[in-house]
Structure 1
Amino acid sequence: MSIQITQLSPALGAQIDGINLSEPLSAENHQLIEQALLTHQVLFFRNQPITPQQQASFARHFGDLHIHPIYPNVPEQPEVLILDTAVTDVRDNAIWHTDVTFLPTPAMGAVLSAKLLPPFGGDTLWASSSAAFEALSKPLQVLLDGLTATHDFTHSFPLERYGNTPQALEHYHEVQRKYPPLSHPVVRTHPITGRKGLFVNDGFTTRINELEADESDALLRFLFAHSTRPEFTVRWRWQTNDIAFWDNRITQHYAVDDYRPQRRVMQRATILGDIPA
Protein backbone atom coordinates (compact mmCIF):
# COMPACT_ATOMS: atom_id res chain seq x y z
CA MET A 1 0.00 0.00 0.00
CA SER A 2 1.45 3.36 -0.97
CA ILE A 3 1.75 6.22 1.50
CA GLN A 4 -0.85 8.99 1.30
CA ILE A 5 -0.38 12.47 2.80
CA THR A 6 -3.48 14.54 3.54
CA GLN A 7 -2.96 18.16 4.57
CA LEU A 8 -5.19 19.16 7.50
CA SER A 9 -4.92 22.95 7.72
CA PRO A 10 -3.24 25.80 5.85
CA ALA A 11 -0.67 26.51 8.60
CA LEU A 12 0.42 23.02 9.59
CA GLY A 13 -0.60 19.40 10.02
CA ALA A 14 -0.96 16.34 7.79
CA GLN A 15 -2.33 12.82 8.22
CA ILE A 16 -0.15 10.00 6.92
CA ASP A 17 -1.78 6.74 5.82
CA GLY A 18 -0.38 3.58 4.27
CA ILE A 19 2.52 2.86 6.62
CA ASN A 20 3.02 0.55 9.61
CA LEU A 21 5.29 2.22 12.17
CA SER A 22 5.78 -1.03 14.10
CA GLU A 23 7.88 -2.32 11.20
CA PRO A 24 11.46 -1.28 10.43
CA LEU A 25 11.52 2.04 8.58
CA SER A 26 12.91 1.80 5.05
CA ALA A 27 15.25 4.47 3.71
CA GLU A 28 12.57 5.55 1.24
CA ASN A 29 9.88 5.92 3.92
CA HIS A 30 12.32 7.64 6.27
CA GLN A 31 13.03 10.26 3.61
CA LEU A 32 9.33 10.67 2.81
CA ILE A 33 8.36 11.17 6.47
CA GLU A 34 11.25 13.54 7.09
CA GLN A 35 10.24 15.69 4.11
CA ALA A 36 6.58 15.62 5.18
CA LEU A 37 7.60 16.78 8.66
CA LEU A 38 9.56 19.70 7.23
CA THR A 39 6.61 20.65 5.04
CA HIS A 40 3.73 20.15 7.48
CA GLN A 41 5.46 20.51 10.90
CA VAL A 42 3.22 17.93 12.63
CA LEU A 43 2.22 14.52 11.27
CA PHE A 44 -0.56 12.20 12.46
CA PHE A 45 -0.80 8.43 12.02
CA ARG A 46 -3.98 6.47 12.82
CA ASN A 47 -4.12 2.90 14.17
CA GLN A 48 -0.46 2.36 15.11
CA PRO A 49 -0.38 -0.08 18.09
CA ILE A 50 3.36 0.05 18.76
CA THR A 51 5.37 -1.02 21.79
CA PRO A 52 7.67 1.44 23.63
CA GLN A 53 10.63 -0.32 22.03
CA GLN A 54 9.16 0.16 18.54
CA GLN A 55 8.33 3.77 19.36
CA ALA A 56 11.91 4.47 20.46
CA SER A 57 13.27 2.67 17.39
CA PHE A 58 11.15 4.83 15.06
CA ALA A 59 12.13 8.04 16.85
CA ARG A 60 15.85 7.17 16.73
CA HIS A 61 15.77 7.41 12.93
CA PHE A 62 15.61 11.19 13.44
CA GLY A 63 18.14 11.70 16.25
CA ASP A 64 19.32 10.78 19.73
CA LEU A 65 16.64 10.41 22.39
CA HIS A 66 16.20 12.38 25.60
CA ILE A 67 15.38 11.01 29.06
CA HIS A 68 13.09 13.45 30.83
CA PRO A 69 14.30 14.62 34.26
CA ILE A 70 10.83 14.80 35.86
CA TYR A 71 8.28 12.53 34.19
CA PRO A 72 8.23 8.78 34.88
CA ASN A 73 9.34 6.53 32.05
CA VAL A 74 8.89 2.99 30.79
CA PRO A 75 11.38 1.00 32.93
CA GLU A 76 12.59 -1.21 30.09
CA GLN A 77 12.69 1.75 27.66
CA PRO A 78 13.62 4.86 29.69
CA GLU A 79 13.70 7.13 26.63
CA VAL A 80 9.89 6.76 26.47
CA LEU A 81 8.17 8.86 29.12
CA ILE A 82 4.69 8.22 30.48
CA LEU A 83 2.00 10.90 30.75
CA ASP A 84 -0.60 9.15 32.91
CA THR A 85 -3.13 11.39 34.65
CA ALA A 86 -3.71 8.69 37.29
CA VAL A 87 -0.05 8.88 38.32
CA THR A 88 1.38 12.30 37.43
CA ASP A 89 0.18 15.88 37.56
CA VAL A 90 0.31 16.86 33.88
CA ARG A 91 -1.20 20.35 34.16
CA ASP A 92 2.02 21.77 32.72
CA ASN A 93 0.94 20.25 29.38
CA ALA A 94 -2.30 22.27 29.44
CA ILE A 95 -0.44 25.41 28.42
CA TRP A 96 1.02 26.40 25.09
CA HIS A 97 4.63 25.20 25.13
CA THR A 98 7.56 23.93 23.12
CA ASP A 99 9.13 20.86 24.74
CA VAL A 100 12.22 21.10 26.96
CA THR A 101 13.40 24.54 25.82
CA PHE A 102 15.22 24.67 29.17
CA LEU A 103 17.88 22.45 27.54
CA PRO A 104 20.92 23.92 25.73
CA THR A 105 19.87 21.74 22.78
CA PRO A 106 16.05 21.62 22.92
CA ALA A 107 14.16 18.79 21.28
CA MET A 108 14.19 18.49 17.51
CA GLY A 109 10.88 16.66 17.72
CA ALA A 110 8.75 14.15 19.57
CA VAL A 111 6.73 11.01 18.85
CA LEU A 112 3.58 10.77 20.99
CA SER A 113 1.47 7.60 21.20
CA ALA A 114 -2.08 7.46 22.60
CA LYS A 115 -2.52 4.43 24.88
CA LEU A 116 -5.65 5.15 26.94
CA LEU A 117 -8.15 7.90 26.20
CA PRO A 118 -11.29 9.36 27.77
CA PRO A 119 -14.52 8.79 25.81
CA PHE A 120 -14.33 12.42 24.68
CA GLY A 121 -12.07 15.40 25.31
CA GLY A 122 -8.31 15.36 25.69
CA ASP A 123 -7.54 16.78 22.24
CA THR A 124 -4.14 18.32 21.48
CA LEU A 125 -3.53 21.47 19.45
CA TRP A 126 -0.35 22.46 17.61
CA ALA A 127 0.60 25.95 16.42
CA SER A 128 3.05 26.90 13.69
CA SER A 129 5.74 29.25 15.01
CA SER A 130 6.78 30.13 11.46
CA ALA A 131 3.24 31.07 10.43
CA ALA A 132 3.02 33.26 13.53
CA PHE A 133 6.32 35.02 12.80
CA GLU A 134 5.51 35.56 9.13
CA ALA A 135 2.18 37.21 10.07
CA LEU A 136 3.93 39.91 12.13
CA SER A 137 4.62 43.33 10.65
CA LYS A 138 8.07 43.82 9.18
CA PRO A 139 9.15 46.39 11.83
CA LEU A 140 8.23 43.96 14.63
CA GLN A 141 10.04 41.10 12.89
CA VAL A 142 13.16 43.26 12.72
CA LEU A 143 12.86 44.22 16.40
CA LEU A 144 12.49 40.62 17.56
CA ASP A 145 15.20 39.14 15.35
CA GLY A 146 18.36 39.43 17.42
CA LEU A 147 16.73 39.52 20.87
CA THR A 148 17.21 36.66 23.33
CA ALA A 149 14.95 35.25 26.03
CA THR A 150 15.42 33.28 29.24
CA HIS A 151 13.94 29.78 29.52
CA ASP A 152 13.50 28.28 32.98
CA PHE A 153 12.71 24.67 33.92
CA THR A 154 10.93 25.76 37.13
CA HIS A 155 8.37 27.83 35.23
CA SER A 156 6.45 24.70 34.16
CA PHE A 157 7.68 22.42 36.97
CA PRO A 158 7.21 24.49 40.16
CA LEU A 159 8.62 23.29 43.46
CA GLU A 160 5.22 23.10 45.15
CA ARG A 161 4.02 20.45 42.66
CA TYR A 162 7.19 18.40 42.24
CA GLY A 163 9.01 18.62 45.57
CA ASN A 164 6.37 17.42 48.02
CA THR A 165 8.36 14.55 49.61
CA PRO A 166 11.97 14.55 50.91
CA GLN A 167 13.05 12.25 48.06
CA ALA A 168 11.20 14.29 45.45
CA LEU A 169 12.64 17.52 46.87
CA GLU A 170 16.18 16.18 46.66
CA HIS A 171 15.62 15.09 43.06
CA TYR A 172 14.02 18.44 42.19
CA HIS A 173 17.01 20.40 43.43
CA GLU A 174 19.35 18.06 41.57
CA VAL A 175 17.45 18.74 38.32
CA GLN A 176 17.41 22.46 39.09
CA ARG A 177 21.19 22.48 39.48
CA LYS A 178 21.65 20.50 36.27
CA TYR A 179 19.36 22.77 34.24
CA PRO A 180 19.77 26.41 35.34
CA PRO A 181 17.94 29.13 33.39
CA LEU A 182 19.48 29.77 29.97
CA SER A 183 18.94 31.95 26.91
CA HIS A 184 17.78 31.21 23.38
CA PRO A 185 17.00 33.53 20.44
CA VAL A 186 13.49 34.99 20.40
CA VAL A 187 13.41 34.22 16.67
CA ARG A 188 14.85 30.89 15.61
CA THR A 189 15.90 29.96 12.08
CA HIS A 190 15.00 26.39 11.21
CA PRO A 191 18.32 24.59 10.55
CA ILE A 192 17.01 22.78 7.44
CA THR A 193 14.21 24.83 5.88
CA GLY A 194 15.63 28.25 6.79
CA ARG A 195 12.16 29.48 7.85
CA LYS A 196 12.14 31.80 10.83
CA GLY A 197 9.80 31.15 13.74
CA LEU A 198 9.06 32.60 17.15
CA PHE A 199 10.93 30.63 19.81
CA VAL A 200 9.27 31.82 23.01
CA ASN A 201 6.58 29.88 24.82
CA ASP A 202 4.37 30.31 27.87
CA GLY A 203 5.64 27.05 29.34
CA PHE A 204 9.28 27.97 29.84
CA THR A 205 10.04 31.52 28.65
CA THR A 206 10.25 34.04 31.50
CA ARG A 207 12.01 37.14 30.19
CA ILE A 208 13.25 38.93 27.06
CA ASN A 209 16.74 39.75 28.22
CA GLU A 210 17.42 43.02 26.40
CA LEU A 211 14.23 44.74 27.59
CA GLU A 212 13.10 46.24 30.88
CA ALA A 213 10.93 43.90 32.93
CA ASP A 214 7.63 45.65 32.16
CA GLU A 215 8.49 45.86 28.45
CA SER A 216 9.41 42.19 28.42
CA ASP A 217 6.19 41.18 30.18
CA ALA A 218 4.04 43.17 27.76
CA LEU A 219 5.81 41.88 24.65
CA LEU A 220 5.77 38.26 25.82
CA ARG A 221 2.04 38.47 26.57
CA PHE A 222 1.47 39.70 23.03
CA LEU A 223 3.70 37.05 21.46
CA PHE A 224 2.13 34.20 23.46
CA ALA A 225 -1.36 35.29 22.38
CA HIS A 226 -0.35 36.01 18.77
CA SER A 227 1.49 32.69 18.34
CA THR A 228 -1.60 30.66 19.15
CA ARG A 229 -4.21 32.42 17.06
CA PRO A 230 -6.61 29.84 15.56
CA GLU A 231 -5.41 30.42 12.00
CA PHE A 232 -1.93 29.20 12.99
CA THR A 233 -3.18 25.97 14.59
CA VAL A 234 -4.44 22.46 13.98
CA ARG A 235 -6.47 20.41 16.49
CA TRP A 236 -6.25 16.62 16.72
CA ARG A 237 -8.99 14.43 18.18
CA TRP A 238 -7.19 11.35 19.42
CA GLN A 239 -8.14 7.74 18.87
CA THR A 240 -6.43 4.89 20.73
CA ASN A 241 -3.07 3.99 19.10
CA ASP A 242 -2.82 7.25 17.19
CA ILE A 243 0.68 8.69 16.86
CA ALA A 244 1.70 12.32 16.43
CA PHE A 245 5.18 13.31 15.27
CA TRP A 246 6.01 17.01 15.41
CA ASP A 247 8.89 19.33 14.64
CA ASN A 248 9.55 20.92 18.03
CA ARG A 249 11.87 23.53 16.48
CA ILE A 250 9.03 25.32 14.71
CA THR A 251 5.84 24.52 16.70
CA GLN A 252 4.10 24.82 20.04
CA HIS A 253 1.40 22.51 21.39
CA TYR A 254 -1.33 22.41 24.04
CA ALA A 255 -2.91 19.31 25.59
CA VAL A 256 -6.48 20.22 26.46
CA ASP A 257 -7.25 19.29 30.09
CA ASP A 258 -11.04 18.95 29.78
CA TYR A 259 -11.66 15.27 30.58
CA ARG A 260 -11.24 14.91 34.36
CA PRO A 261 -11.95 12.67 36.23
CA GLN A 262 -11.43 10.37 33.23
CA ARG A 263 -7.95 8.93 32.74
CA ARG A 264 -5.61 9.66 29.82
CA VAL A 265 -2.34 7.80 29.16
CA MET A 266 0.16 8.87 26.52
CA GLN A 267 3.76 7.81 25.86
CA ARG A 268 6.36 10.12 24.32
CA ALA A 269 9.80 9.66 22.81
CA THR A 270 11.66 12.98 22.63
CA ILE A 271 14.33 13.53 19.97
CA LEU A 272 17.19 15.85 20.87
CA GLY A 273 18.04 18.69 18.54
CA ASP A 274 20.70 21.34 18.14
CA ILE A 275 21.56 24.75 19.63
CA PRO A 276 18.91 27.26 18.45
CA ALA A 277 20.23 29.99 16.17
Structure 2
Amino acid sequence: MIEFIPMTRHIGAEVTGVDLRKPLSEEETRTVRQGWLAHKVLFFRDQEITDEEHIRFAEHFGTINHPAFKKDSGTPIHVLDQTSPKGEGADEWHSDNTFEPVPPMGSLLRCMILPSVGGDTMWANTYLAYETLSPSIQRLCDELTAIHDITGSMRKAISKGHDFDLAEIQRKWPPIERPVVRVHPETGRKALFVNRASTTRLAGLTDRENEVLLPLLVDHVRNPEYQVRLRWRVGTLAFWDNRSTQHYAVADYTERRRMHRVTVNAFPEHLDR
Protein backbone atom coordinates (compact mmCIF):
# COMPACT_ATOMS: atom_id res chain seq x y z
CA MET A 1 0.00 0.00 0.00
CA ILE A 2 1.36 3.41 -1.01
CA GLU A 3 1.51 5.95 1.82
CA PHE A 4 2.67 9.57 1.98
CA ILE A 5 4.34 10.75 5.19
CA PRO A 6 4.38 14.59 5.28
CA MET A 7 7.75 16.14 6.11
CA THR A 8 6.35 19.62 6.78
CA ARG A 9 2.89 21.11 6.96
CA HIS A 10 3.07 22.78 3.55
CA ILE A 11 5.46 20.82 1.33
CA GLY A 12 7.21 17.48 0.95
CA ALA A 13 6.40 13.87 1.78
CA GLU A 14 8.28 10.58 1.99
CA VAL A 15 6.64 7.78 0.04
CA THR A 16 6.46 4.18 1.25
CA GLY A 17 5.06 1.10 -0.44
CA VAL A 18 6.66 1.70 -3.86
CA ASP A 19 9.47 -0.36 -5.40
CA LEU A 20 10.84 1.64 -8.33
CA ARG A 21 12.56 -1.44 -9.75
CA LYS A 22 9.12 -2.54 -10.95
CA PRO A 23 6.79 -0.79 -13.42
CA LEU A 24 3.86 1.03 -11.82
CA SER A 25 0.32 -0.09 -12.44
CA GLU A 26 -2.21 2.48 -13.66
CA GLU A 27 -3.67 2.67 -10.16
CA GLU A 28 -0.24 3.15 -8.59
CA THR A 29 0.58 5.85 -11.12
CA ARG A 30 -2.64 7.73 -10.28
CA THR A 31 -1.95 7.42 -6.55
CA VAL A 32 1.62 8.71 -6.86
CA ARG A 33 0.50 11.58 -9.09
CA GLN A 34 -2.22 12.61 -6.63
CA GLY A 35 0.29 12.55 -3.78
CA TRP A 36 2.79 14.51 -5.87
CA LEU A 37 0.24 17.21 -6.67
CA ALA A 38 -0.76 17.43 -3.01
CA HIS A 39 2.77 17.51 -1.53
CA LYS A 40 4.64 19.19 -4.46
CA VAL A 41 7.80 17.11 -3.91
CA LEU A 42 8.03 13.41 -3.08
CA PHE A 43 10.98 11.50 -1.61
CA PHE A 44 11.52 7.81 -2.31
CA ARG A 45 14.14 6.29 0.03
CA ASP A 46 16.33 3.20 -0.44
CA GLN A 47 15.67 2.81 -4.16
CA GLU A 48 18.63 0.96 -5.65
CA ILE A 49 17.60 1.34 -9.27
CA THR A 50 19.32 1.50 -12.64
CA ASP A 51 19.27 4.45 -15.03
CA GLU A 52 16.82 2.51 -17.20
CA GLU A 53 14.45 2.02 -14.24
CA HIS A 54 14.81 5.72 -13.36
CA ILE A 55 13.79 6.68 -16.90
CA ARG A 56 10.91 4.20 -16.94
CA PHE A 57 9.52 5.63 -13.70
CA ALA A 58 9.75 9.17 -15.10
CA GLU A 59 7.87 8.17 -18.25
CA HIS A 60 4.79 7.29 -16.18
CA PHE A 61 4.34 11.02 -15.53
CA GLY A 62 5.51 12.93 -18.60
CA THR A 63 7.62 12.92 -21.74
CA ILE A 64 11.38 13.21 -21.47
CA ASN A 65 12.93 16.68 -21.72
CA HIS A 66 16.29 16.89 -23.54
CA PRO A 67 17.93 20.32 -23.00
CA ALA A 68 20.11 21.01 -26.03
CA PHE A 69 22.85 22.68 -23.97
CA LYS A 70 23.42 19.48 -21.97
CA LYS A 71 26.62 17.81 -23.19
CA ASP A 72 25.23 14.29 -22.68
CA SER A 73 22.02 15.13 -24.54
CA GLY A 74 21.96 11.70 -26.21
CA THR A 75 20.63 10.23 -22.97
CA PRO A 76 17.75 11.38 -20.77
CA ILE A 77 20.05 11.10 -17.74
CA HIS A 78 21.69 14.39 -16.82
CA VAL A 79 24.68 13.70 -14.59
CA LEU A 80 25.46 16.32 -11.94
CA ASP A 81 28.96 15.48 -10.66
CA GLN A 82 30.46 18.23 -8.52
CA THR A 83 32.99 18.93 -5.81
CA SER A 84 32.97 22.77 -5.91
CA PRO A 85 29.35 23.78 -6.60
CA LYS A 86 29.33 27.24 -5.07
CA GLY A 87 28.28 29.91 -7.55
CA GLU A 88 27.38 27.50 -10.37
CA GLY A 89 23.71 28.56 -10.25
CA ALA A 90 21.86 25.80 -8.40
CA ASP A 91 22.71 27.49 -5.10
CA GLU A 92 20.01 30.09 -5.56
CA TRP A 93 16.24 29.65 -5.54
CA HIS A 94 14.95 28.70 -8.98
CA SER A 95 12.49 26.74 -11.08
CA ASP A 96 14.09 24.73 -13.87
CA ASN A 97 14.36 26.12 -17.40
CA THR A 98 11.72 28.85 -17.17
CA PHE A 99 13.38 30.38 -20.24
CA GLU A 100 12.04 27.55 -22.44
CA PRO A 101 8.85 28.19 -24.45
CA VAL A 102 7.20 25.42 -22.39
CA PRO A 103 9.09 24.96 -19.11
CA PRO A 104 9.42 21.35 -17.91
CA MET A 105 6.73 19.95 -15.68
CA GLY A 106 9.07 18.36 -13.16
CA SER A 107 12.31 16.57 -12.41
CA LEU A 108 13.36 13.30 -10.79
CA LEU A 109 16.76 13.51 -9.06
CA ARG A 110 18.55 10.42 -7.72
CA CYS A 111 21.49 10.35 -5.31
CA MET A 112 24.51 8.27 -6.39
CA ILE A 113 27.51 9.59 -4.40
CA LEU A 114 27.45 11.92 -1.38
CA PRO A 115 30.03 13.99 0.50
CA SER A 116 30.61 12.97 4.11
CA VAL A 117 28.50 15.92 5.21
CA GLY A 118 26.39 18.55 3.42
CA GLY A 119 24.87 18.68 -0.04
CA ASP A 120 21.23 18.95 1.05
CA THR A 121 18.52 20.26 -1.29
CA MET A 122 15.63 22.54 -0.31
CA TRP A 123 12.25 23.11 -1.97
CA ALA A 124 9.77 25.97 -1.48
CA ASN A 125 6.00 26.03 -2.00
CA THR A 126 5.28 28.78 -4.54
CA TYR A 127 1.50 28.51 -4.06
CA LEU A 128 2.09 29.65 -0.50
CA ALA A 129 4.50 32.33 -1.66
CA TYR A 130 1.70 33.84 -3.75
CA GLU A 131 -1.05 33.31 -1.17
CA THR A 132 0.88 35.08 1.60
CA LEU A 133 1.39 38.26 -0.39
CA SER A 134 -0.96 41.05 0.61
CA PRO A 135 -4.15 41.22 -1.51
CA SER A 136 -2.99 44.47 -3.12
CA ILE A 137 0.33 42.96 -4.23
CA GLN A 138 -1.48 39.83 -5.40
CA ARG A 139 -3.72 41.92 -7.65
CA LEU A 140 -0.68 43.77 -9.03
CA CYS A 141 1.16 40.51 -9.70
CA ASP A 142 -1.90 39.01 -11.38
CA GLU A 143 -1.56 41.69 -14.07
CA LEU A 144 2.23 41.57 -14.51
CA THR A 145 4.47 39.63 -16.84
CA ALA A 146 8.21 39.06 -16.50
CA ILE A 147 11.16 38.43 -18.79
CA HIS A 148 12.99 35.11 -18.41
CA ASP A 149 16.48 34.81 -19.94
CA ILE A 150 19.04 31.99 -19.93
CA THR A 151 22.00 34.36 -20.37
CA GLY A 152 22.85 34.94 -16.72
CA SER A 153 22.93 31.26 -15.73
CA MET A 154 24.98 30.35 -18.80
CA ARG A 155 27.55 33.06 -18.05
CA LYS A 156 27.92 31.65 -14.54
CA ALA A 157 28.47 28.16 -15.93
CA ILE A 158 31.03 29.41 -18.47
CA SER A 159 32.89 31.33 -15.74
CA LYS A 160 33.14 28.03 -13.83
CA GLY A 161 34.87 26.36 -16.78
CA HIS A 162 31.92 24.75 -18.58
CA ASP A 163 32.28 24.75 -22.36
CA PHE A 164 29.12 26.30 -23.78
CA ASP A 165 28.55 28.38 -26.89
CA LEU A 166 26.67 31.31 -25.36
CA ALA A 167 25.69 32.88 -28.68
CA GLU A 168 24.24 29.60 -29.95
CA ILE A 169 22.27 29.07 -26.75
CA GLN A 170 20.93 32.63 -26.87
CA ARG A 171 19.78 32.10 -30.45
CA LYS A 172 17.96 28.92 -29.47
CA TRP A 173 16.39 30.44 -26.35
CA PRO A 174 15.89 34.20 -26.71
CA PRO A 175 14.32 36.06 -23.76
CA ILE A 176 10.69 35.13 -23.21
CA GLU A 177 7.84 36.95 -21.47
CA ARG A 178 5.47 35.04 -19.21
CA PRO A 179 2.99 35.76 -16.39
CA VAL A 180 4.34 36.53 -12.92
CA VAL A 181 1.50 34.40 -11.51
CA ARG A 182 1.08 30.95 -13.02
CA VAL A 183 -2.20 29.04 -12.75
CA HIS A 184 -1.37 25.38 -12.24
CA PRO A 185 -3.05 23.44 -15.07
CA GLU A 186 -3.96 20.45 -12.86
CA THR A 187 -4.85 22.01 -9.50
CA GLY A 188 -6.09 25.44 -10.64
CA ARG A 189 -4.09 27.12 -7.85
CA LYS A 190 -2.04 30.26 -8.41
CA ALA A 191 1.72 30.19 -7.87
CA LEU A 192 4.36 32.90 -7.91
CA PHE A 193 6.43 32.23 -11.02
CA VAL A 194 9.54 34.41 -10.89
CA ASN A 195 12.98 33.27 -9.79
CA ARG A 196 16.41 34.73 -9.21
CA ALA A 197 18.18 32.44 -11.70
CA SER A 198 16.42 33.53 -14.89
CA THR A 199 13.84 36.29 -14.26
CA THR A 200 15.59 39.47 -15.35
CA ARG A 201 12.87 42.13 -15.12
CA LEU A 202 9.16 42.83 -14.78
CA ALA A 203 7.80 43.91 -18.14
CA GLY A 204 6.33 47.39 -18.47
CA LEU A 205 7.83 48.72 -15.23
CA THR A 206 10.55 51.33 -14.90
CA ASP A 207 14.06 50.43 -13.77
CA ARG A 208 13.37 51.98 -10.36
CA GLU A 209 10.16 49.96 -9.95
CA ASN A 210 12.04 46.81 -10.93
CA GLU A 211 14.77 47.55 -8.41
CA VAL A 212 12.17 47.52 -5.64
CA LEU A 213 9.54 44.98 -6.66
CA LEU A 214 11.47 42.20 -8.41
CA PRO A 215 13.86 41.45 -5.50
CA LEU A 216 10.89 41.38 -3.12
CA LEU A 217 9.12 38.79 -5.26
CA VAL A 218 12.07 36.53 -6.06
CA ASP A 219 13.19 36.51 -2.41
CA HIS A 220 9.70 35.82 -1.05
CA VAL A 221 10.24 32.04 -1.25
CA ARG A 222 13.04 32.30 1.34
CA ASN A 223 10.56 32.12 4.24
CA PRO A 224 11.35 28.81 6.08
CA GLU A 225 7.62 28.18 6.59
CA TYR A 226 7.30 27.58 2.84
CA GLN A 227 10.19 25.09 2.67
CA VAL A 228 11.31 21.52 3.16
CA ARG A 229 14.95 20.42 3.40
CA LEU A 230 16.11 16.97 2.32
CA ARG A 231 19.16 15.26 3.77
CA TRP A 232 20.10 12.90 0.98
CA ARG A 233 21.09 9.26 1.30
CA VAL A 234 22.47 7.18 -1.56
CA GLY A 235 19.44 5.57 -3.20
CA THR A 236 17.07 8.48 -2.47
CA LEU A 237 15.03 9.83 -5.40
CA ALA A 238 13.24 13.20 -5.25
CA PHE A 239 10.39 14.00 -7.67
CA TRP A 240 9.22 17.61 -7.71
CA ASP A 241 6.59 19.69 -9.50
CA ASN A 242 8.38 22.51 -11.30
CA ARG A 243 5.11 24.45 -11.59
CA SER A 244 4.45 24.81 -7.85
CA THR A 245 7.93 24.78 -6.34
CA GLN A 246 11.37 26.31 -6.45
CA HIS A 247 14.49 24.54 -5.21
CA TYR A 248 17.94 25.36 -3.88
CA ALA A 249 21.00 23.08 -3.81
CA VAL A 250 23.03 23.86 -0.69
CA ALA A 251 26.64 24.38 -1.80
CA ASP A 252 28.33 23.56 1.52
CA TYR A 253 30.62 20.71 0.47
CA THR A 254 34.02 20.18 -1.16
CA GLU A 255 33.86 16.43 -1.66
CA ARG A 256 32.31 14.59 -4.58
CA ARG A 257 28.53 14.65 -4.99
CA ARG A 258 27.04 12.79 -7.98
CA MET A 259 23.35 12.92 -8.86
CA HIS A 260 21.39 11.59 -11.83
CA ARG A 261 18.44 13.65 -13.04
CA VAL A 262 15.62 13.02 -15.50
CA THR A 263 13.43 16.00 -16.43
CA VAL A 264 9.93 15.57 -17.82
CA ASN A 265 7.57 17.67 -19.90
CA ALA A 266 3.82 17.58 -19.30
CA PHE A 267 1.57 15.29 -21.26
CA PRO A 268 -0.72 17.34 -23.59
CA GLU A 269 -3.66 17.09 -21.19
CA HIS A 270 -1.55 18.67 -18.41
CA LEU A 271 -0.21 21.68 -20.32
CA ASP A 272 -0.99 25.26 -19.27
CA ARG A 273 -4.28 26.45 -20.71
- TM-score of Structure 1 vs Structure 2, range by shorter chain: over 0.9
CA deviations on 1:205-230 (whole Å, 9 max, x unpaired) are 00000211221132111112212210
User: 1:23-42 to 2 correspondence within 5 Å?
Assistant: 23-42=22-41
Distance in 2 of aligned mates of 1:71 and 1:160: 12
Local SS of the residue matching 1:31: helix
Give the match for residue 256 of structure 2. 263
Change (3 A) 1:4 1:94: same
Instruction: Summarize the Cα distance change of 1:119–1:163 in structure 2 as closer, same or farther, 3 Å threshold.
Output: closer
Preserved contact between residue 83 and residue 90 of structure 1 (Cα < 8 Å): no
Structure 1 length-normalised TM: 0.91
Query: Of residues 136, 151, 154 in structure 2, which corresponds to 1:154?
Result: 151
- Residue-by-residue CA offset, 1:123-165 (whole Å, 9 max, x unaligned): 0000000011011111110000021101111121117726968
Shift of residue 25, structure 1, vs aligned partner: 1.1
Partner of 1:65: 64
Residue 147 of structure 2 aligns to a residue whose secondary structure is: strand
Whole-angstrom CA distance in 2 between matches of 1:133 and 1:213:
23
| Structure 1 unmatched runs, 5+ | none
Say whether the 8 Å CA contact 2:155–2:166 is kept in structure 1: no
Looking at structure 1, the residues matched to 224 and 214 of structure 2 have their Cα atoms a distance apart, in angstroms, of 18
Which residue is equivalent to 2:142?
A: 145
The Cα of 1:89 is off from its aligned counterpart by 8.2
Aligned-residue CA RMSD in angstroms?
A: 2.1
Q: Are 2:225 and 1:231 equivalent residues in the alignment?
A: yes
Distance 1:145 1:74 in 2: 36
C-alpha distance in structure 2 between counterparts of 1:160 and 1:108, whole Å: 23
Number of equivalent positions: 270
CA contact (8 A) 1:56 1:269 kept: yes
**Residue matched to 2:214:** 220
CA distance in 2, matches of 1:82, 1:264: 10
1:69 is displaced (CA, Å) by 2.9
Q: Residues 85 and 164 (structure 1 numbering): CA distance in 2 closer, same or farther, change over 3 Å? A: closer
1:189 aligns with 2:183: yes
- Name the TM-score, length of structure 2 as normaliser: 0.93
Aligned to 2:238, the other structure's residue is in SS state: strand
- Work out whether residues 22 and 50 of structure 1, in 8 Å CA contact, stay in contact via their aligned partners in 2: yes
- Unmatched 5+ residue regions in structure 2? none
Q: Distance in 1 between matches of 2:249 and 2:190?
A: 25
Amino acid at match of 2:205: L
2: CA distance between counterparts of 1:215 and 1:272? 34
Query: Deviation at 1:68?
Result: 2.3
- Give the secondary-structure state (helix, strand or coil) at the position aligned to 2:260: strand
The aligned amino acid for 1:185 is P
How far apart, CA to CA, are the structure 1 residues paired with 2:56 and 2:14?
A: 21
| 1:128 counterpart residue number | 125
Partner of 1:18: 17
| Structure 2 contact 151–166 (Cα < 8 Å) conserved | no
